[in-house]
Amino acid sequence: MPKAVAVIYLHGFMSSEQAHKAKLCSDFLKQYYPSTVFHVPRLPDKPRQAIDFLEQYIAELQQHYCCCLIGSSLGGFYAQLFSAKYHCKSVLINPLVDASQRLMIYDESEVGQLQNPYTGEYFSIDVDDHDAVEVAARILPAPANQHLVLLQMADQVLDAQIASHYFQRASCIIEPAGDHQYQNLERYLSHVFAWLLAA
């Protein structure tokens, strides 16, 4: 008997499981794919801890479900990493590509402690986090057709040109305007889930 399908949404840096895009996905699945399980774990703010957490979290779900991933921003980096590891499809929304370089902006030696505005928790980004992301990036295969990438090129947080070049061999939906939050994601949810859940 085939496994049931579980979609795992991975939120971005300094976000939470209450992310607006996660709610849009949850509501859409409840209406159109009610038998699909939807998980939105709260990811640790520190990348080393997030990667370690997801290693165990996804491995456990894989025992019971056929997993698919949706990741936004830094969650898009994580989704790419674990879709490669577990050979599953992923949808990446304004994904972070140059993760190690980007994290330098938040290094504790430059900014000290950070506070997640959604959870109120304090944390810092240190060399252990940089090392974890660098190791992960080095083992990533070239992007392939297991990814569907949604980019809005007016992203004010990440350089979408980097992502559009990096994912040029993947399936991409690219819009010239928008922002990092990815405006009007609901327009594409039918396409996203038809692609993600296709056998």
- Does this model's pTM top 0.75? yes
Residue 143's contacts (CB-CB under 8 Å, 6 or more residues apart) are: 80, 149, 166, 167, 169, 170
- 48-106 pLDDT, tens digit per residue, is 999 999 999 999 999 999 999 999 999 999 999 999 999 999 999 999 998 888 888 88
SS3 content of the chain, % helix, strand, coil (to 5): 45, 20, 40
pLDDT in tens, 130-150: 999 999 988 887 777 789 999
Task: Give per-residue pLDDT as tens, 137-185.
Answer: 888 877 777 899 999 999 999 999 999 999 988 899 999 999 999 999 9
Q: Is the pLDDT of residue 107 over 80?
A: yes
